[in-house]
Amino acid sequence: MQNFDYQTPTRLIFGKGIIEKLPEVMNQFGKKILLTYGGGSIKKIGLYDKVKELLADFEIFELSGIQPNPKYDPSVLDGVKICKENNIDVILAVGGGSVLDCSKAIATGAKYDGDPWDLISYKAFAEDSIPIVDIITLAATGSEYDCGGVISRTETNDKIGYMDSHNYPMVSFLDPTYTFTVSKKQTAAGCADAMNHIMEQYFCEDSTLLNDGFMEAGLKSLMANAVKCLENPQDYTARAEMMLTCTYGCNGIYSLGNSQSGWPCHGIEHALSAYYDITHGEGLAIITPRWMKHILSEKTVNRFVKYGVNVFGIDSTLDKFEIANKAISETYKFFESIGIPMHLKEVGIDESRIVEMAHHIAVNEGLENAWVPLNENDLVKILTDSL
Amino acid sequence: MQNFDYQTPTRLIFGKGIIEKLPEVMNQFGKKILLTYGGGSIKKIGLYDKVKELLADFEIFELSGIQPNPKYDPSVLDGVKICKENNIDVILAVGGGSVLDCSKAIATGAKYDGDPWDLISYKAFAEDSIPIVDIITLAATGSEYDCGGVISRTETNDKIGYMDSHNYPMVSFLDPTYTFTVSKKQTAAGCADAMNHIMEQYFCEDSTLLNDGFMEAGLKSLMANAVKCLENPQDYTARAEMMLTCTYGCNGIYSLGNSQSGWPCHGIEHALSAYYDITHGEGLAIITPRWMKHILSEKTVNRFVKYGVNVFGIDSTLDKFEIANKAISETYKFFESIGIPMHLKEVGIDESRIVEMAHHIAVNEGLENAWVPLNENDLVKILTDSL
C-alpha cells in the first residue's frame, strides 16, 4: 500500500428537491454570481428559470454556450473576462462535467494576472480562486467531487487534464431528476466515462481488498443502473445510483493507497477528442477493450482474472488467460449493448491521422510511466485496432 | 435512495514516515498546543518523544491519562480548563479513538461558556471549537474521519455518542507502523468495533448495489486483515488495510443515501460499558450475533441472505432462513476465532443489572426507531441471550 495525502472538502447535497437550499448556500459566498451553462438544455428542463427565480436577490452574470470538450477560446477566456470586470464572488456552474470543468479554469484564471493557459499547462500555479458551486445535470465525469478539469485548445489540438486543489467545488447539488431527460446516447457515454474512471484505477500493480471491492461495486452499479436508465429514463433509483457512483469517479476514494495506473485510456482519448471533437465517453469505450487486449500478458493477467471473476461472474476455475480474454470480450459487449458505436470509423475517425495522434500522445501524456508503458508504436497499434 | 447532505473536510495523511509533516501541519493552526494522550503507550513506542522533538518550537501543554471509554470527569473537564486558561490554538490528540473522542469534547467545550455536558447531551450547540489534529495509534473507531465522539459520565451511567460538525479533525495522521505493538486483544476488539460500524449501516431497509459492495468489501477486508495482523503484528500491508478500512467506519461514505438502521448494537453496548467499563469492541461482538438472531424474520431475512452470500460465500441456492442462520453463526465464529470472549459473563457482567440496563437503553437510545424497533423486553432478551 502506497502513502497518500487526501482531502475532498466538497459538500454534496443530494436528492429530490434539494435545489430549494440554493439561496442559503449561495449567500455564504456573496451576491455577485457568474452563472455558467451549456447549450440550453437547462432551459428545456426548467432548471434555468428555477435558478433565476430562487436567486432573484442576487446579481447574476451569464456565460452560456459552453461546449462538450470545453474550449479555452472562447469559453474560458470569456468567463475570466466577465469575472475580472465585475468582481464576481462565486461561480454557479449548471450542467454536466464540461460546464464545470470550464468553470474551474475560469475560477483560477480570474484570480491570476497572466494568461490562464499558464495554469492549465502547469507553467504557473494558482494562489487563489473564485469559489464554485455546481448543479449537475449529467451523471458522468465526477467533476463535482474532484479538483480536476479538462480543457481543449483547438488551434494546437491540445486537450489537457489539469488538477488544482483550489478547484474543488464548495458545494455540489445532485438531484437525479435533472438527469431524467438525458438522451440515450449521453446516458451510455456517461456510463462508459465513469466505468473508465474506475478501470483506470483498477488496472494497476498494487491494490487492496477494500479498494478492489469498492471499484468492483462501482462497475457493477454503473452497468446495472445504466441498463435500467436506458429502459426507463425516469427510474429515480437507477438515476440516483448512477449519479452517486459517477460522483466518486475521480476524487480518489476508490483507490486510496493504490499504485498509479497512469490513466492510459484517458491519455489516448484526449487526443481523439482534441483532433476530432468526439464524445469523450464514446472514445473511451472504443479504446478500452483494445488497450486491454494490448496490455494482457503474464504480468497483468491476474488483475484481469480478478476483474472477470468479480465484475462479470466468469467461472474462476477456467484458465487464467481464458478468463482474461472473456473479461475483455464482456467489456466490449457491454458497451455495445448500451448502444455505443464501438469503432473509430463510426464516430468519424479514419486512419489518416493515427500516426500524428500517436506522436502527440507519446509527447504529451507521459504514458511511458503507465502501469504497462506505452510508446508510439503501442499507441499506433491500439488506435489502428480501434478503427 | 434517501436524500443526504454530506461533507467530510478532514485531510488524511497516510503511510510510513508521514510524521515528518507534523510541524508544517501544526504551524497552520498556531503555536500553543494541547497534547492529549492516554496511559503512556505512545511513550513506549517512541512516538511521544518524536512528537516533542518535531514540535520543539511550539509551546506544548499536556493532558494525559485519558482512559478507554473516556470520562467527562476528569478528562474532558481538565482539558477544557487547560485550553481556557492558556488560550490553546490547537489540540493534538495522539492515541486511539478514546483520546480523540475526548479531545473533540474538549475542543467544543473550550469555546463554550456553560457546562460542556450541555453540548454532549444536545442541550446546547457549539458555535466554535479549537481545531484538532490527530495521530492515530489504533485501528478501530474511525473517529479520525468523523465528527462524533462517545463520552462516559460515571456517576449517572451515561455513555453518550454525540456529533458536532465542528469536531471533524482538520488533519489525521495515519501511520500503520504505530499499530504494530497493539495487543492481540485490542487488535481483535478494534476489528469487531469497525465491523460493527459497517454492520450497523448494512442492516437497514433501503440500500444500493454500490453501498452494499462498499460495505461487503469493508467487512471482508477487516476479517482477512485482522487474521493477518494477529498472526504477524508487523505485517505492514495488513495493518495498513485494516487502518484505512476502519477510518471510513462512521463518516458516512459506506452508506450515503441508505435509510437509517438506528445503530442498535451501539445503543446496547453503550450501556454495557457505561455500567461495567468493558472494552467497547468486545461488548459489540458479544451483542451482535444475539441481536441478529433476535431480529431475523420474514421482513429482514433477505438482508441476511445478501450478507451471508456476499460476505461469507454461503451457497445462495440454500433456503433463505438457512443462509441467514448460517451467516449469523459465521459472524459468531469469526469473533470467537480472533479471540474475543463471546459471553457477557466472561467480561464480568452477570444478570443482576440486565433489567436496569434495558430500561436505561430504552429511555436513552431511541431504539424504538431502529430498523427493527427494540423495546425494553427485546433488550432484556438480547442481553440475557448474551450472558
C-alpha cell at B54: 518535531
Judge contact between A125 and A119, C-beta under 8 A. Answer: yes
Nearest Cα residue in chain A from B3 = A15
| Contact call for A213 and B224, based on CB within 8 A | no
Residue A89 has what pLDDT?
98
Examine domains B11-178 and B183-385 and report if their fold is the same. no
Annotated domain spans of chain B: 11-178, 183-385
CATH architecture of B11-178: 3-Layer(aba) Sandwich (3.40)
- The 8-class DSSP code of residue B259 comes to P
C-alpha cell at B168: 471533524
| Contact call for B213 and A209, based on CB within 8 A | no
Residue A364 has what pLDDT?
92
Q: Which of B157, B74, B151 is nearest to B357 (CA)?
A: B157
Confidence category of residue A157, pLDDT binned at 50, 70, 90: confident
For residue B130, give every residue at least 6 positions away whose Cβ sits within 8 Å of its Cβ, in sequence order, or none.
Answer: B34, B83, B88, B89, B90, B91, B106, B107, B110, B111
Mutate to test the interface with A, among B214, B220, B229, B311 (most CBs of A within 10 A): B214
Q: With a cut of 90, say whether residue B161 has pLDDT above it.
A: no
Nearest Cα residue in chain B from A209 = B221
Angstrom CA distances, A151 to A37, A95, A102, B383, stand at 15, 16, 7, 61
Residues paired with B71 in a beta bridge: B152
Helix axes B209-231, A236-247, angle to 10 degrees: 40
| Contact call for B3 and A14, based on CB within 8 A | yes
Confidence category of residue A26, pLDDT binned at 50, 70, 90: very high
- Judged by a CB distance cut-off of 8 A, whether residue B24 touches chain A is no
Can you tell me the ipTM of this complex? 0.96
What region, left, alpha or beta, does residue A70 occupy, with left being phi > 0 and alpha being psi -120 to 50 degrees?
Answer: beta
C-alpha cell at A245: 457512483
Task: Please give the CATH number for the structural domain made up of A183-385.
Answer: 1.20.1090.10
Residue B364 has what pLDDT?
92
Q: With a cut of 90, say whether residue B275 has pLDDT above it.
A: yes
| Contact call for A12 and B4, based on CB within 8 A | yes
Residue A155 has what pLDDT?
86
- Cα dihedral A294, A297, A303, A309 sign: positive
Residues 254-293 of A with CB under 8 A from B: 256-257
Q: How far apart are CA A349 and CA A347, in angstroms?
A: 6
What values do phi and psi take at B135, rounded to 5?
Answer: -125, 115
Residue B243 has what pLDDT?
98
Confidence category of residue A40, pLDDT binned at 50, 70, 90: confident
pLDDT digits (tens, 9 = 90+) for A292-305: 999 999 999 999 99
**What percentage of chain A reaches a pLDDT higher than 70?**
100
Q: How far apart are CA B202 and CA A364, in angstroms?
A: 45
Number of H helices, E strands in chain A: 15, 9
Nearest CA to CA, how far is A372 from chain B (Å)?
23
Task: Give the residue-averaged pLDDT of A200-226.
Answer: 97
The CB density around residue B170, as the number of other CB atoms within 10 Å, is: 17
**What percentage of chain B reaches a pLDDT higher than 90?**
96
Task: Give the residue-averaged pLDDT of B98-120.
Answer: 97
Task: Give the residue-averaged pLDDT of B21-25.
Answer: 98
Confidence category of residue B52, pLDDT binned at 50, 70, 90: very high
| Contact call for A209 and B241, based on CB within 8 A | yes
pLDDT digits (tens, 9 = 90+) for B197-222: 999 999 999 999 999 999 999 999 99
Terminus-to-terminus CA distance in chain B, angstroms?
38
C-alpha cell at B152: 462516559
Nearest Cα residue in chain B from A175 = B3
Residue A154 has what pLDDT?
85
Q: 3-class DSSP state for residue A227?
A: helix
pLDDT digits (tens, 9 = 90+) for B168-179: 999 999 999 999
Q: Which of B331, B307, B311 is nearest to B320 (CA)?
A: B307
Strands (DSSP E) found in B166-274: 171-174
- Judged by a CB distance cut-off of 8 A, whether residue A245 touches chain B is yes
C-alpha cell at B129: 471549537
Nearest Cα residue in chain A from B12 = A6
What values do phi and psi take at B93, rounded to 5?
Answer: -95, 125
| Contact call for B11 and A5, based on CB within 8 A | yes
Confidence category of residue B24, pLDDT binned at 50, 70, 90: very high
Ranking A35-44, B79-88, B155-164 by mean pLDDT, the lowest is B155-164
Q: Which of B354, B170, B369 is nearest to B260 (CA)?
A: B369
For the whole model, what pTM was predicted?
0.96
Task: Give the residue-averaged pLDDT of B274-292.
Answer: 96
What is the H or E stretch that residue B178 is in? none
Question: Could you write out the DSSP letters of every residue in A247-295?
Answer: HTTTSSTTSTTPPP---HHHHHHHHHHHHH---HHHHHHHHHHHHHHHH
Q: How far apart are CA A293 and CA A281, in angstroms?
A: 19
Residue A159 has what pLDDT?
86
Terminus-to-terminus CA distance in chain A, angstroms?
38
- Judged by a CB distance cut-off of 8 A, whether residue B237 touches chain A is yes
What's the mean per-residue pLDDT of chain A?
97
Q: Which of B366, B359, B96, B372 is nearest to B383 (CA)?
A: B359
What values do phi and psi take at A165, rounded to 5?
Answer: -65, -15
The one-letter code for the residue type at A91 is I
Task: Give the residue-averaged pLDDT of B246-273.
Answer: 95
For the CA atoms of chain B, what is the radius of gyration?
Answer: 20
C-alpha cell at B198: 459497517
Q: How far apart are CA B206 and CA A214, in angstroms?
A: 19
Residue B159 has what pLDDT?
86
Q: With a cut of 90, say whether residue B109 has pLDDT above it.
A: yes
pLDDT digits (tens, 9 = 90+) for B116-158: 999 999 999 999 999 999 999 999 999 999 999 999 998 888 8
